[in-house]
Amino acid sequence: MAARPLWAIVLQWTLWLLLMTSVMRWLGRTREQKPEGATGTLAHPRSTLIVGLVCTGLFLACAVGSVLLPGPRRPAFIPYFFLGFAALGVPMILDWRNARHTMVRGGLRYRTMLGRGGDLRWADVRKLRYSPSSKWFRLDLADGRAVRISAMLTGLPAFAQAALAEVDPGAIDSASRRVLDATAMGELPRIWG
């Protein structure tokens, strides 16, 4: 097997980087749209569903192709490998479908990726922090529940404004406060890079 020339490797990774940057910019821009439904709603933009479906569909097709298409003998685990990657898109689809939150007087009505939900009162928030690696706001409540609000949602400025106004200032660390302040002004958290 001949080694690939350096220019081909550089071109491959440059194209991958450009494609990923374009997709992530598109995802970031779709968060700026007005949320579907009433004011005070936090929901995933349609782009979340599209990425989840493309990921799942592409790797399902690879799994089926690795079983059905002729070629050299392949290890038996290959279709399962692709099925594992196909499963990575399912949480995105579920989150798009189920994770919708509504601002209510004095709090937030939330639903999780798996469809469970509840209500929280801002006064019950004991700790609010932003995770730059996970790209979500985590609200720890007095009763032990933890509610996560994804940075991918539309309607984040209204959430940030309400949290800054209603949550005990001592419950928000300084780094998270900076992110909330910027979000409240319309500068959404970065989702890439």
pLDDT digits (tens, 9 = 90+) for 6-42: 888 888 999 999 988 888 888 777 777 765 555 678 8
> Can you give the pTM of this predicted structure?
0.79
State how far the Cα of 44 lies from the Cα of 30, in Å rounded to an integer: 9
pLDDT digits (tens, 9 = 90+) for 118-154: 999 999 999 999 999 989 999 999 999 999 999 989 8
Place of tokens 């005070």: 40
Report, as an integer, the average pLDDT of 76-105.
Answer: 91
Phi, then psi, of 70 in degrees rounded to 5: -70, 155
State how far the Cα of 132 lies from the Cα of 101, in Å rounded to an integer: 21
Spatial CA neighbour of 94 closest among 55, 48, 135: 48
pLDDT for position 52: 92
Residues contacting residue 140 through CB under 8 Å, at least 6 positions apart: 125, 126, 127, 128, 146
Amino acid identity for residue 50 in this structure: I
